[in-house]
Amino acid sequence: MRHLLSTRDLDRDTAIGILDVAEDMAQTADRQVRKLPPLRGKTVVNLFFEDSTRTRLSFESAAKRLSADVITVVAKGSSVSKGESLKDTAQTLAAMGADAIVVRHHDSGAAHQLAHAGWLDATVINAGDGTHEHPTQALLDAFTMRSWRFGTASRGRDLSGLRIVIVGDILHSRVARSNVWLLTTLGAQVDLVAPRTLLPHGVEHWPVTVYEHLDDALATRCDAVMMLRIQAERMRDAFFPSTREYALEWGLSAERLARLSPDTMVMHPGPMNRGLEISSAAADSRRSTVLSQVTNGVSVRMAVLYLLVSGSGSTAGAE
């Protein structure tokens, strides 16, 4: 496995292998000394053309826990703001000895281009490209679901038998796309809920059932309800009449939360728009895994960096 660009590229065994290594990494979090040696002498560059809190900080933390040298470049404050291209920026970082480039970019396909244009020889990890994919988010979501459902007996297991409901701005969501591909590869049933205006063209060909009304989707028991952020920054048109109407029809309100089964997980990739797609009652509830998702993100990113950069990873599946 050379790059991680998409969950669509991952077969079941490779995905389970990553989640199992993430289990090992999670065990090390409780140690007095959390640092491990496998990336000693390696340089990991975080190249972020779009804002991020969780992904950037958790890749930084993961790389440091594996003893890598870490360089973080954000568009604001770098020569990207003077108009330097993706190619020139990446080649500059490669010339500084980058072994891996973790890239977030506003263009769908940017990570793929970086990996395959022949500009550099480093491993490329997609940390979110436009509305295309966010593979490590889906892996950490799957890890969180597996831990919730199977606890200490998670190792080696897929998500067969689980029903996951993903709700909201599917159109603009790379998190939704990566989760659809990964969760279905792992055997889960995935249902989507969104106003028609926030569904992507071609969704009828995805391996999912689509609902227009949240209450219809929640009438059948589910293992997880994943609320998506309304991505106002990507919207140039009005996609719903008002935020009040959206919250009423598609938001996870306190009333809807109360109707969920007590063992249904409430997930959100963050950052959350409280009061819009998710109420504070749901976000702060006992069933909310929002902060566990953040914690698990470090273990999953440690696993991905270890498998791709240390030279001791599996070669099954993916690129």
Question: By rule CB under 6 A, what string of x and - marks binding of each residue 45-64 to ligand CP?
Answer: -------xxxx---------
Min dist CB 227 to ligand CP, Å, is 12
CB of 52 or CB of 243, closer to ligand CP: 52
Q: Is 232 in the site for ligand CP (CB under 6 A)?
A: no
Q: Is 273 in the site for ligand CP (CB under 6 A)?
A: no
Q: Using alpha carbons, select from 222, 230, 304 the residue that is nearest to residue 269.
A: 230
Q: Which of 269, 288, 289, 298 binds ligand CP (CB under 6 A)?
A: 269
CB of 128 or CB of 135, closer to ligand CP: 128
Q: Is 144 in the site for ligand CP (CB under 6 A)?
A: no
Min dist CB 119 to ligand CP, Å, is 25
CB of 61 or CB of 67, closer to ligand CP: 61
Half-sphere exposure of 165 (CA within 13 A, CB side): 25
> Which residue type does 79 have?
S
CB of 128 or CB of 313, closer to ligand CP: 128
Q: CA torsion 227→232→237→242, rounded to 10°?
A: 60
Q: What is the DSSP letter of 229?
A: P
Lookup result for tokens 């290594």: 21
Q: Is 270 in the site for ligand CP (CB under 6 A)?
A: yes
What stretch of H or E contains 145?
helix 135-150
Token digits of residue 172: 């603009």
Footprint of ligand CP on 72-131 (CB under 6 A):
128
Q: What is the DSSP letter of 70?
A: E
Rounded distance, CA 36 to CA 85, Å?
Answer: 35
- Cβ(276)–Cβ(292) below 8 Å: no
Q: Which stretch binds ligand CP (CB under 6 A): 72-80, 93-101, 267-275, 282-290?
A: 267-275
**Which residues contact ligand CP by CB under 6 A?**
52-55, 128, 137, 269-271
